[in-house]
Each structure stands twice: as structure tokens, then as C-alpha cells.
Amino acid sequence: MAKDKKLKTNAMRILDSKKVSYEMLSYESEDGKIDGISVAHKIGVDEKNVFKTLVAQGTSKELYVFVIPVAEELDLKNAAKIAGEKKVEMIAVKDIMKYTGYIRGGCSPQFI
């Protein structure tokens, strides 16, 4: 019989290639609650230890990836300063797949 193959994200593949141990946690999503705070509660992890990946675009059209705690909001002025841009704006949800190759909620920080 074929081995039971688990689906892996690119982030997991990178960790595997570097021999970094990790634990994959899964949760039910039928209730539609996939925001970071809800997910933290579902997996029993303090929301301060769960992060979200946000993608913004600068006035230069360059894309920037920010990883912040799920309960936080990205300070766009500070993000622009860090990126060396005059201004950054979050990319539209409809454009996430186009720019990253990932769906909303599945964007790994190593995509760029």
C-alpha cells in the first residue's frame, strides 16, 4: 500500500530541508471562523504566540511581507518607514493569489 502522504506547505518543506522540528496543528473550519484569534483559540495556543503574514505594496510597487501577532494591526506608517517607502498599502484580498500564489489565510512568510 502507498504511504499515507500528508499535505505540506512550502514553509514546512523548508523546515524539513533544514532539519528543523515543528508540530503541525490542525483545526475545524466548518464554522467559517478562520481569523487568527479564532484559530489560536481552536488550537489552544495563546494568541500572542500565533502570527499572521500580511502583504503590502509600496509606492515603488515593490511588495513587502510583514509577520505580526494575530491580535495586532499593522501600522502602515511604521511599515513604510521600515520598508524605506514613502507609503505602503495592504494588497487587496482579491489580489493575494496573483501576487503570492497563496489563498487568503495560507500565505507563508517565505513566498517572496
Of 71 and 4, the one with more pLDDT: 71
On the question of pLDDT at 14 being above 50, the answer is yes
Segments of the chain assigned E as strands: 51-58, 63-69, 88-90
pLDDT digit string (tens) for 49-58? 999 989 999 9
Q: Residue 79 class from Cβ within 10 Å (0-12 exposed, 13-18 middle, 19+ buried)?
A: buried
- Are the C-beta atoms of residues 39 and 46 closer than 8 Å to each other? no
Q: Structural domains in the chain?
A: 10-100 (3.90.960.10)
